[in-house]
Amino acid sequence: MFDVVKRDYYDVLGVDKNANDDELKKAFRRLARQYHPDTLTGEQEKKVAEEKFKEINEAYAILSDQDKRRRYDTFGHTDQGFDGFPRGGFGDIFNDIFDDFFGGRQGGRRTARGSDIEYSLTISFEDSIFGKEVTLNIPRSETCRECRGTGAKTPEDIKPCPSCKGAGQLRFQQGFFTINKTCGRCQGTGQMIGAPCPTCRGARLLRKERVLNAHIPGGVETGTLLRLANEGESGENGGPPGDLFIQITVAPHPVFSRKGNDLLCEVPLSFAAAALGAKVRVPTLKNEDMIIKIPPGTQHDKVFRIKGLGARGLQNNGTGDQLVRVKLKVPTNLNPKQKELLEEYAKVSGETLDAESGILDKMKNIF
């Protein structure tokens, strides 16, 4: 099951990482006005805006505080509860300390968590809305099964390091202080290998391609980061594996675009249909068209809403709607009959089609 990772705070505010306090404040005010729930009327729009508003406030609260910003720039979401997904750094320091005191070494070898893997995945617009089962081929380092990660041909080929006596560290006394230093001969493993494993040649790890079947949840957007725990690189000397992070890119759609959890499409509308009213066929992502009623006098860029045909929210904030924006289509290459009727309409409406003569008439009235 994938976990959703928080967006980068700088991306949330739409500013560069070198942005100063004034730039942060301007960006925050602009976005706060845009997504403040009190400025919206629709229930679904308010729900989306509330989530955005919380995200904006959280980002500004961290980046506007110099100390918190400095720690965020260093450790990302792993510090101060920014994120539930540790990705190295500060957490690994504590892991090393606890390893030393509570058995984090196996046979004198220091264990280490495997590295995370970042994988870019492009999916179709439809799959981003409805979700998809995907098969991923992930290249990664895995523990050698032949030697079980020891790097030795046989267990008898593993000997304690003669320099550190298997401790992995050398201890020096300087005055009142005791200094521990990683053993340079065994590189801190505490072991020396006689005959290396013929499969991994002593490397302990092998580069392989792992096939994973995973479910991409409906509602993801470009920039969504998903985490699959323990599917990263294998840990060293029996340490835990890293995580797999999937960076989502959604391919553009020829008809639809996304606005929050709402889906937007545009349909052409003739002058006659806009003026007199009509029933218009509208495409949907469910492979079936819908008929909507256009009232008489509909203006260009008027937006109509079809309830419940939008995208699902990743944070359980409901399903959006489909928005239909009408675009007035001006006819070209009129035949004589059409031209005559439009000219008659203009005449009856009192419209002056000759702009120049209209200006001259006004000037005559002035003088």
Stretch (H or E) spanning 280 = strand 278-282
| pLDDT at 3 (0 to 100) | 56
Mean pLDDT, rounded, of the chain: 81
110-165 pLDDT tens trace? 667 888 889 999 999 999 999 999 999 998 888 888 888 888 989 888 889 998 88
Rounded CA separation 10/186 (Å): 43
| pLDDT at 173 (0 to 100) | 74
Pairing of strands 322-329, 262-270: parallel
Give 343's contacts (C-beta < 8 A, 6+ positions apart). Answer: 353
- Report the SS3 class of residue 17: coil
Rounded CA separation 189/274 (Å): 78
Residue 169: alpha-carbon gap to chain centroid: 43
All structural domains of the chain, each given as residue ranges with its CATH number in brackets, are 1-85 (1.10.287.110), 110-149+200-251 (2.60.260.20), 152-195 (no CATH), 257-366 (2.60.260.20)
Q: Which of 124-128, 322-326, 357-361 has the lowest mean pLDDT?
A: 357-361
Q: Which of 100-109, 186-195, 230-239 has the lowest mean pLDDT?
A: 100-109
Confidence of residue 81 (pLDDT cuts 50, 70, 90): very low
Question: What sign does the dihedral 227-228-230-231 (CA atoms) show?
Answer: negative
- Asked if 223 and 181 touch (Cβ cutoff 8 Å), the reply is no
| Residue 99 predicted with pLDDT over 80 | no
Structure tokens at 14: 């739409």
172-208 pLDDT tens trace? 776 666 777 888 888 777 888 889 999 988 888 888 8
Instruction: Return the amino acid letter for 201.
Output: R
- Asked if 121 and 248 touch (Cβ cutoff 8 Å), the reply is yes
Nearest partner of 143 among 232, 60, 79, 217, judged by Cα? 232
- Report the SS3 class of residue 216: strand
